[in-house]
Amino acid sequence: MDFKVLTVDDLSSVMELENSVFVSDAWSSESMRSEIESPNNFYLGLFEDGLIGYAGLSTIPGSFSSDIQTIAVSSAARGRGIGRALMQELLRKAKAQGSEQVLLEVRIDNQVAISLYASLGFERIDVRKRYYQPDNVDAVIMRLRITQPLVLGIESTCDETGVGIVRGNRLLANALHSSMDEHSKYGGVVPEVAARAHLEAIAPTLNKALAEAGVQMKDIDAIAVANGPGLAGALMVGIGAAKGLALANDKPIYAVNHLIGHVGADVLERGYVQLPTIALLVSGGHTSLLLVRDLLGDAVLLGETIDDAAGEAFDKVARVLGLPYPGGPQIDKLAATGDPKAIRFPRGLSLPKDMEKHRYDFSFSGLKTAVARYVEKAEADGETINPADVAASFREAVVDVLLTKALNACAEFGVDRLLLGGGVVANARLREVAQQRCEAAGIELRIPRFSLCTDNGAMIASLGAQLVMSGHAPSSLGFGAESTLEVTVVQSP
C-alpha cells in the first residue's frame, strides 16, 4: 500500500469511491475538484491496485486549527486499519502545520467511525441536528487538542541579540537588544565589539523573553540557535548560551540556519509559509536570493552578493554624503525629498554580458564607487550637489536591481510568490516599488512585520519549532559556529 498526495488527476478515482461509500451524501465532482485544488487543503490517498481510501484536511493560515473534511475507505478494504492510517497521517500534517486543534463532523449513527476518532483522542463537543440530508441524520462534532512544542530561539549572528519564544506557530515573545549605538562611532559593525555586546546582553534579553511569554525555562520543550552564517565571534556567544541552557535544563537543542530563519519568520505572520516562494533577503551582511520549495528540505541559493551587501552599500554611501551610521534610515529619509531619476547610477551585474554567469548574483561595490566618484568630481569642479537627489538616485538603483532579479526568478521558476526579509526591507522605496511591480506581474508579495524582518530570536525559534513538529531529531552538542554556512543546510547535525 502506498500513500499519495492527491491531485485533480486522481479525481475520477476519488469520485468513484466517493459515490460508492457515501451514496446520498456524496459530493459532486465539481465540489471535490475545488476541495483538492484549494491551497489550504491536503488530500491523501491510499493505493493498492487502485484507490482504496482517501481523506482530506483543511487548514486556514493563521487559524491554528484544522478540519477533517472527509474520509472514505472502500468496503472491500475495511477492517484493515486503513481509516486509522489515513487519520494518523492527517493528524501528523495538522501538527506540522502548527494546528492546536483538529475538528471533524461525523454521522451520529456511524458508531464505528465515532469509536475510531475517540481512540485517536477526539472528544465529543456538540451535535448539529439533522445536519446530514436527505437522511435527516444528526452530526456529532468532535475535537482533538494538540499541544504544540514550546521552543526558545537565540539569534546572535551580527549586532543584534535576540531571544524569541514560540508555541508551534504562535509567537509568544520576541526580545531584542541592538548594539548599533556602540558600532556607530566606528561607522560599521566591529566583530569584537559585537561579541562583547552579546555577552553583556544575552542574560537580560533571555529574562525579558521569558517574562514576556509568561513561562519559565522548565516549561521550554526545545532550544534553537542560529549557528551560521554570520560573524564567528558573535555566533559563538549565542551558541555557548544555547548549549549551556540545554545542558542545565536537559533540553534538546537545534542548530539552525540564520537565512532559512528569515524565510520561516513568515510562519509567525500568517500561520505557515506558503510554498514554493522566491525569498529576497537583504541586510547589512547578506543579500541573497533563494528558491524555497520546502522550508526544511529544499532551499536553493539562486544568487548572492559577490562583494558588498546592499545594507553595507547604504552605510558606505551615507558616509560619502556625510550621514551618520546606520546609513539605511538616513538615506531613506534624505531620499524622500530627492528625484530618483536625477542621476542614472549603474545597476550591477545587469548587463547582458553578466547574465550568463551572474544572472541572480548582486554587486553593489561598483554602485558605491560610482556615487563616490560623482560626489568627488562635483566637489573638484566646484559644483554644488543636491544630496537628496544623490540619495534618491542611489536608492533607486539598489531597489531596481534587487526587484528586477527577484521578479525574473519568479518568472523563470514559475513561482507566483515573493517573500522579502532582512533589515533593508524597512526601506520605504523598496516596499513601495515591490508592491507596484508585484501587482503588475501578478505576484503575491509577502513582507512580515518589521520586527520579524530584522535579525531576531523569534524566527530562529520558529524554524526550530518546525523541525520539532516535523519529527526531526535534535542536533548533537558537537556543532559549532559556521560563519559561511550554506543555505542548503537547514539544521546542523
Cell numbers 551582511 correspond to 285
Q: What pLDDT score was predicted for residue 53?
A: 97
Q: What's the Cα-to-Cα distance from 401 to each of 119, 280, 312, 368, 389, rounded to whole Å?
A: 57, 12, 15, 14, 18
pLDDT in tens, 22-74: 988 899 999 999 999 998 999 999 999 999 999 999 999 889 999 999 999 99
H or E, element range at 427:
none
Q: What pLDDT score was predicted for residue 172?
A: 98
Indicate whether 185 pLDDT > 90.
Answer: no
Coil vs helix vs strand at 157 = coil
Q: What's the Cα-to-Cα distance from 424 to each of 59, 282, 327, 420, rounded to whole Å?
A: 32, 5, 10, 9
User: Edge-to-edge, what's the strand order for the sheet holding 2-5?
Assistant: 2-5, 41-47, 51-59, 65-73, 101-107, 137-145, 123-132
Amino acid at position 55, single letter = A
Q: Would you state the cell numbers that stand for residue 95, as one nine-digit string? A: 501538527
From 401, 257, 267, 395, select the one nearest 339 (Cα to Cα): 395
Q: What pLDDT score was predicted for residue 62?
A: 84
Q: What pLDDT score was predicted for residue 179?
A: 86
Contact (CB, 8 A) for 204 and 160: no
Indicate whether 310 pLDDT > 90.
Answer: yes
Query: Residues 274-297, buried b or exposed e (16+ Cβ, 10 A)?
Result: ebbbbbbbbbbbbbbbbbbeebbe
Three-state SS string over 80-130 comes to: CCHHHHHHHHHHHHHHHCCCCEEEEEEECCCHHHHHHHHHCCCEEEEEEEE
pTM: 0.90
Distance CA 366, CA 311 (A): 14
Q: What pLDDT score was predicted for residue 180?
A: 79
Count of all residues that appear for the chain in the document: 493
Distance CA 162, CA 491 (A): 19
Contact (CB, 8 A) for 407 and 294: no
Cell numbers 530562529 correspond to 460
Percent of the chain past pLDDT 90, that is, above it, reads: 86
Q: What pLDDT score was predicted for residue 129?
A: 95
As a whole number, the mean pLDDT across the chain is 95
Q: How confident is the model at residue 284 (pLDDT cuts 50, 70, 90)?
A: confident
Q: What pLDDT score was predicted for residue 143?
A: 98
Indicate whether 1 pLDDT > 80.
Answer: no
pLDDT in tens, 112-166: 999 999 999 999 999 999 998 888 999 999 999 999 999 999 999 999 999 999 9
pLDDT in tens, 364-406: 999 999 999 999 999 999 999 999 999 999 999 999 999 999 9
